[in-house]
């Protein structure tokens, strides 16, 4: 076997090993993270380099949507999954959306970053959400919410130089980011926080 081929195979093996290690590290960190953790923009937060309105994303059926369409409303951004212990939160957020959608919109972004709990296609996810939870809030194409392939929106949400203050990436499925009527990030909430929790209600002003 030629040396070049050996080095190539060793390189591939190393990449696979590193990827597996990173996946396990992410899994462990998620499992032991505080599921009720939260963070809020400090009073001295710097002006963000971008706002929510600078992004265009695709709906779950592939149609581009400029997020500037939500200007003037608060926005709650969720990374969702179909096979997670938190999946029943779909019902909580659907109820919240129906009650408050005139002032607050909920946006769902399927992601397969945690324990492969969202492995389906976009069409399968859409069918699951409608059939099991009657989801009517806007759902978008599956994205990666952390790592080297992190979606631009989630890079903004978790990079202080871009959003002005926050460095928290999702620690598991159903983390929440709250954006105000000006498109500025104001709050982060971990997976265990639900719409009726006092701290969340305070963050969205209800």
Catalytic residues: 84
8 Å CB contact between 74 and 205: yes
Neighbours of 86 (CB within 10 A): 20
């Amino acid at each position: 076997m030629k040396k070049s081929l050996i080095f190539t195979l060793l390189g591939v093996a190393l990449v696979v090993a590193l990827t597996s290690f990173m996946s396990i590290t992410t899994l462990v960190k998620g499992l032991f993270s505080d599921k009720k953790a939260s963070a809020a923009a400090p009073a001295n937060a710097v002006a963000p380099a971008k706002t929510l309105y600078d992004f265009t994303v695709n709906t779950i059926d592939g149609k581009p949507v400029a997020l500037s369409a939500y200007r003037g409303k608060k926005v709650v951004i969720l990374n969702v999954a179909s096979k997670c212990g938190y999946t029943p939160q779909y019902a909580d957020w659907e109820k919240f959306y129906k009650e408050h959608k005139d002032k607050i919109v909920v946006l769902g972004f399927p992601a397969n970053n945690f324990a492969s709990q969202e492995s389906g296609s976009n069409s399968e996810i859409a069918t699951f959400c409608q059939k099991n939870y009657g989801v009517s809030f806007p759902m978008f194409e599956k994205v990666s919410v952390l790592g080297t392939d992190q979606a631009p929106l989630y890079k903004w949400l978790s990079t202080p130089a871009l959003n002005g203050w926050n460095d928290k990436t999702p620690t598991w499925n159903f983390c929440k980011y709250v954006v105000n009527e000006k498109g500025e990030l104001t709050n982060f909430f971990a997976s265990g926080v639900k719409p009726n929790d006092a701290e969340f209600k305070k963050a969205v002003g209800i």
